[in-house]
Structures are given as C-alpha cells and as structure tokens.
Amino acid sequence: MTAQPTADPALDRSARTAPLLAVRDLTVTFGRGRREFRAVDGVSFDVAPGQTVGLVGESGCGKSVTSLAIMGLLPARGNTIGGSATFAGEELLTMSGNELRDRRGRDLAMIFQDPLSSLNPVVPLGTQVAEVIERHKRVSRGEAREQARAMLDKVGIPDPTRRLKEYPHQLSGGMRQRALIAMALACEPRLLIADEPTTALDVTIQAQILALLKELVQDSETALVMITHDLGVVAGLCDEVNVLYAGRIVERAGRHDLFARPRHPYTGGLLASIPRLHEERGRLTPVPGSVSDNIPWEQGCAFAPRCSSAIDVCVQQTPELVPDPGHGPDRLLRCHNPLPAPPTAAGSGQPAEEETP
C-alpha cells in the first residue's frame, strides 16, 4: 500500500552529486498486534553533500523517529524498522552495533533538542569532547584535548581553555548547544542530523546557532538534515523541505517553491496559521482540530478530517506521493485535491484531480 514508485524522481537529478544519505521507504512500527502504531510510514529522501534537507512537521508526525532510526538510536526492543537507509552506499539499518557506533561520531553525527540531557553532567566538557576525538581519530590524549579546544573555539565558545574544565551545568543553554555541536563536529562528520536544535533556546541564541550551522555546512560540505516544527527556521536554512504528516511525507519542494506556492492543504494551512512579525494584525486562519482527529492512512488521507479542501475521494482512497505536474521532478505531493497553484514560470497550475499524471 505504500508502494513507492521504483524510479524515485528524487534519484533522477543528474545535475546533483550522488546522495550521501539515501532513505528508502523507511517504516518504524512501535508495539505489536492490536496496539501497533506506525510512527514512520514509508519515508524516502536523499541528502547530498553540502545540502540541507528539512523534515518539518508537528509533534507526532514521525520526524524525530525517522532520525533516530537512521542513527540506530531507537531502543532495541519494542519496535520494528523496515525499508533502507544507505550512507555512501552502505546500509545503516542492518549494520551491527559496533560498526554503527564506529560510524556515529566519525561519519554521522546528531545534535538534540535538549543540550543538558545530552551531555554527561559529571564529566568536564573538555573531557567529553576530547573522548570523542580520541576514540574516532585515534590520537593521543594531549592531541585530542588540543583539538577539542580548537573545536570549542570554532563554534564560538569564548575562553575555550577555561571552558574545557567546566561541567555542563556551568554553561548557559546556548553554550551547551554550542558544545554539543562541537562534539558532533569534532570528527568532521559528513552527515549531521539536527533534531530541533534550537527549540529549547531563546530567539537571539537561536539566531546565533542557526548562523553557525549555516556557516558549517557552507564551509565543510557537510550534509545536514534539519528536523524542526518551525517553518521560519526552514525558510532560512533548508535547500529542500519535506513536510511530514502522520508519519508520511505529504509534500516535498525546494524552499522557495514551497513557501511561495504551497500545494498540500496542510502546508498551506500551516503557513496561513502562523502570525507574521511584519504583517498587520488580523484574524488568523487556523488548521481545525488536532492530530488526534486523524484517520489511518489505510482508509484515505490522514489529514482529511482537518482539511478544508477534502473531497469524497480523500476518505476512500490513500493518496500516493507523486511528482506534481508542471512543477518539475523535484516537487512531490501526496494529495487528491491540492491547493490551486498560482501561475509560475514552470507552467500554469493544474486543476484538481491529478493524482496520476
């Protein structure tokens, strides 16, 4: 039922370099039998070196589970992972624990939402960063410490020599997140997954961290997967955006395209519901209901009960993720009745029913 078209349009982008991370039909199921819950349901995407791909969605859309599954960080029991995730051609999902541990930190790194709980509270910061370097780069302790100092300096932590000796609780939230980024980047990973890295931070600190991430991606050709609920963060940072809803990708587009011409009613609804700083006050247009109103994907479109453009077919047939005609191969859409697209250079918007081109 989640049959992905074998020739994924995302693969045909000959102009772009080969993907570093290729996720195909990733499925994560928690529990068994009657209490089974599919958190991620056939998610596919690619990330190329130097590219920033965004996974956007609300709580419960499966964006964090996706990243944990790729990193092999889901608990060993109580879940089933299907599909594939290859990193530079190697399958990550079937890799042994040791191999994966070796990969994590050296090739793949992750930063989390809560920097305090991601750091060991009783080990000085310098030791934590140096340990990562020592382990993956196989250098001496003194050398690792020197590199750790340089790394803290690079992510903008003032007076790094002193900070090396301090404990996580002595740092502010922004500095902790910087330290975590320093740890993640210590071994120059080729892929960085950032799971809501700025959600716990204040806006002025968020601006600092986002600027830092942007700089790192540009300078080092690191591939970045950015997981967030904040469309503002996506707008400034991501090259390509995947909008997730109830475990499936409902829309994929380049960031300019997505914000200028949202096609999925959920994306459109999200954009219409956020108050803008630069707009006069007026009534917002909320998305009605909440995720608890969803219907299962097997019965139709999960978003249909909340959707203002829902038509009969939406609760009868599951929409597939297909290229959006007239918008090039990079734009995918999972909708029976998409929002009308304003005329574009690429071609005029198609009327409704267009699920099979």
Q: Cβ of residue 177: shortest distance to another protein, in angstroms?
A: 11
Decide whether 39 or 191 has the Cβ nearer to another protein. 39
We find the least distance from the C-beta atom of residue 290 to another protein, in angstroms, to be 4
DSSP-derived pairing of the beta strands 52-56 and 240-245: parallel
DSSP code of 186? T
CB of 254 to another protein, least distance (A): 9
Task: Give the gyration radius of the chain's Cα atoms.
Answer: 21
116, containing H or E segment: helix 115-118
Q: Which CA distances in Å does 43 have to 40, 51, 97, 249, 277? A: 7, 18, 23, 6, 33
Strand partners, 84: 24
Compute the least distance from the CB of residue 100 to another protein, in Å: 28
In terms of residues, how long is the chain? 357
Smallest gap from residue 275 Cβ to another protein (A): 4
- Is 143 or 166 the residue whose CB approaches another protein more closely? 166
Mention every residue, 6+ apart, whose C-beta is less than 8 A from residue 279.
none
Name the minimum Å distance from CB 145 to another protein: 20
Cβ closer to another protein: 90 or 159? 159
User: Which CB, 208 or 337, lies closer to another protein?
Assistant: 208
Helix (H, G, I), strand (E, B) or coil at 170: helix
Q: How far is the CB of 22 from another protein (least distance, A)?
A: 25
Of the candidates 301, 274, 306, the residue with the CA atom closest to the CA atom of residue 291: 306
Distance CA 302, CA 176 (A): 38
Between 14 and 59, CB nearer to another protein: 59
Nearer to another protein, 73 or 274 (CB): 274
Report the residue number, 3 or 203, with the smaller CB distance to another protein: 203
Nearest to 262 by CA among 314, 327, 321: 327
Name which of 160 and 189 has its Cβ closer to another protein.
160
Q: In what order do the strands lie in the sheet with 322-323?
A: 108-111, 191-195, 223-228, 52-56, 240-245, 248-254, 332-333, 322-323
Q: Which is nearer to another protein, 18 or 274 (CB)?
A: 274
Residues that bind another protein (CB under 8 A): 58-59, 122, 156, 158-159, 162, 167, 169-175, 202-208, 210-211, 229-236, 255-256, 259-260, 266, 269-278, 280-281, 283-293, 305-306
CA distance 324 to 93: 30
CA angle, 348 then 286 then 288, to 5°: 100
Q: Choose between 236 and 296: whose C-beta lies nearer to another protein.
A: 236
Q: Per DSSP, which regions of 152-296 are E strands?
A: 191-195, 223-228, 240-245, 248-254
The H or E element containing residue 85 is strand 79-87
The answer to whether the beta carbons of residues 336 and 355 sit under 8 Å apart is yes
Question: What is residue 67's DSSP assignment?
Answer: H
CB of 277 to another protein, least distance (A): 5
CB of 258 to another protein, least distance (A): 8
Reading the block at residue 180, the tokens are: 């975590």
Q: How far is the CB of 273 from another protein (least distance, A)?
A: 4
